[in-house]
Structure formats: C-alpha cells, structure tokens
Structure 1
C-alpha cells in the first residue's frame, strides 16, 4: 500500500495529477452573464482566493483518489492482527482529517467568492480601487513630507551651529532670516553678509567653515523646494479625494437599464435608458433614511436607559 501519509496535503503546482489544468483566472476578461457583482470587501483578494480555490479543487481530486486507494488497500488487510492494516488505518484517519480541513477551507472560500450584489459593470469597483490608490498615494506623500520637515529641522540646527561658529553675535532674527533665504543664490547675499560680520580671519578653517555653510544652505534650499512640490501634490490629491468622495450617487448603465447606486453598492433606483432621474428625491430619501436610523438608535438607547432605571428602582425597593 502506498503510504499516503507521506504525500503532502498541499501538492506543488508543478505536479502532474492527471487532471487537465484549469485555465488561468483573469478578472478583466471574465464575461459575466446574468451574474452578480462581487462584494467589494472581497474584491482586492478575489484573484488570490480564486486561484487558491482552483488549485485546492485540483489538489482535492488528487487527494480523494489517494484516499480511495487507501480505503481499498485497508479493506484488503482486514485482519486486526495485521500490523500493516493498523498502520494504514491510522494513516487513513489522519489523511481523512486533513482532507476534511481542506474541504472546510474550500467551503468557506467558495462562500466568500459568492456574488452578493446586482449585475453592474466594474466601474464602481474601479472607482473604489482608485480611491484606495489615492489614499495610499496621500499616505506616501504625508510620509515624505514628514521626513522632509524633519530633515529641515535638523539641517536648520546644523546651519545655525556653523553660522554661530563664524559669527557668535548672530541673533535669533538673523538666523530665521538666514534659514528663510532659500532663493536661487546659495548661500544668499544675507548669509554671506552675516558671515562676513563675524570673525575676520582669512585662514583655512574659516574658509572651510564658509564652504560648509554654503553646502548646508544649498541643502536647505533643496529641502524647501521639495517641500513646496510635495505640498502642491498633496493639495492635488486632496482635491481628487474630495471629488471622488462627493461623487454620489454613481450612475451605471447595463444594456437598456440604468442603475443608481450608493457607496455600498446598494441599488437606489432602477430605470430605463432615457428616463429622467430625480437625484434630489434620491438624496432626500437617503437623508431621511439616515435620520430614521439615528432616531431608532436614540429611541432604543432611551428605552434601555429607562429599563435600567426601572430595574434599579425595583431592586432597591426589595
């Protein structure tokens, strides 16, 4: 009997299981007919889950066949005194448990992939993915901006240290003006004048210090330019995020039908192409629904509080 315990539960994809390979899944090329839109909460991991499910189904065929052979071999070694039968039974029990786990995974994964929304185009999913990209992009910009401002702070301290080593009489106002003078000249005329007011020695040490200040001032100028560009980019992203945040409701067309959906992909209205859609009415319904939900929550909270007060009063009387 083949010792199926030595067969890995998760077979490498290059194994030849004798089963025709499943065609690769490509979301962009799937032709959905009378199908439903995937729940957006699972969209990002859809391809990974689907590919894993396809592989596990193929692997399941292989493991089931091995289990079938194991049952047959166990039947042929029925005597309880047969050591081979006992070992095979233990192996069969373990493999059955592993296969059960594999099927439970498939059950949950298939349920996860089950469509749950009306038939619509993928436009809203692309919009959602774009929103995610925008937010991720903004996070990256924020991180870069924070690094830039932190670098500006450290570089400014270094700049101040070297200027004061040449001109100890430099005031706080002078330093602020020197740091802010990040124009085209490096160092700026003000910085050059500020340093010339300091120690008047034309030795190599002072010349070297002047060169260092010039380099640091150039660094500050570059950091200032970087910060300006990043701020502009962040403002642009904020505008796009606000634009897509306010892009409600989303109108999608499927054949002769037009669907108006909200941010949760719920269909708010369904009408024929060419019919007028009263967006104000839809918006009012949405606002009224939100108010109704808030009122219900408030009412339930009040009832609970009254119940707690009454219960406390009754128990206190006893």
Structure 2
C-alpha cells in the first residue's frame, strides 16, 4: 500500500514538474514574442525616420546646402542595425511547437505572424535603401561628369574608404582656392560616403533576408502535421487550418476496407486467369 502511494506521489510530482516546465516555456515564448514585436514596431518608426533623413540630405545636396541631419541619420542607422540584430537573435531562439493540438494557436500562429512581420520589415527597409541608392547614384554621376578634366566614374564607384578619387578632386578645389569648387567637391565626397553606407546596409539586409528565407523553408517543411489526440487523428495544414479530423476507429476501419478491396481485386484477377487457362486447355 505504501509503495503504491509513493508511486502515485512520484507520478503526480512528475506531472506537476512537467506542467510547470510547459508553463515556463510558454511564458518565456510569449515574453520573447512581445518584446520582439515591440522592437519590430520601433524599427519601423526608425526606418521611416531614416527615409525622411535621406530625403532631406538629397534635397540639400542638390542645392549645395550644408547638410544638417547626417549625424542624426548615422545614429538612426546604427540603432536600426541594433534592433535588427536583436530581432534576428530572438527569431532564431524561437521554434514553433508541434506536440499538442491545443497549443497550435498559442505558439505557432504567433511565431508565423512574427516571422512574417520581420520579413515585411526587412523588405521595406531594402526597398528604401535601393530607392536611395538609385537617387544618390544618379546625382553623384551627374556631379562627376561636370568635372574637368574627366575622371573614370567606375574607379570612383569601386573605391573604398577613404575615397581617394574624391579626395583628389577635393584637393583640386583647395589648390585653386576656389570656395565654390571646395563646397561642390565636399558635397560629392559626402554623397560618396552615403553611397558606401547604403551599400553596407543593403549587404546586411540581404544576409538577414537569406537567413529568414531558410527559417521559412524549415518551418514550412513541418507541415502538414498529423496529430493523434484522444479518439481522433488531426491533419493540420501549412496555414494551421484543420484539413481533416478522423476518429481513430473509423480510420482503422477505413484502412481495413482498403485492404479488403485489394484482396478482392487480387482474387478476382486470379479467378479470371484460371478461367482463361481452363478454356484454353479444353480447346
């Protein structure tokens, strides 16, 4: 009697520990999702501020004015990169659950919505970067073409920090002591740096998008999911919708019927075969 009671107490203790572990896991999952969603929303606002800053810089550069928000832009770009790194780590730490049907809506829908929001954020940022790369590249090329003697544009685009070809052009204005040329070349130099920042940002975003595509593919391959819970077997689709719900007994009966049909078909074929053989022998 005592041994049975000890066994029962041990079983209850194990069930309680498992329940606490499950609750802790779900709580941790929900906290990470909430924080990551908050970071995604904050990053959306930052990216919009980055777009506004690039627009101001572009307009001021066209009119050869002193750019006032480049430091703010640098700060926002760095902050956006930190948010993206945080979101990336959070997404990689989460895994969609599979074990219980009742848990699908709680975790998997949140996870799927989270990675979709993350993908939308990356694609929106990439679109902004590409648009500004196009605008700044055209402006940069137009400015370089006005320089005499002519300089190889490809050489300038391929140059890395420090941008030596632009430095050389800047020194031309300094040598002639022409303030207008100095201001012009200083603007060209700053735009060249902007293009380098945009290129680096696009490279980072491309890597993040490739990682996310792998997560999407790995997650997609988990479905359809077949779950046996109680007296039913559930088939869950990629969109977490219920494709089929079949009673276990009915499913077993259906399998038996399929086997019976196969056996009857084989017997019928054998009967026909023997009948044909008998007819041929009698003739």
Give yes or no for TM over 0.5.
Answer: no
TM-score (norm. length: structure 2): 0.43
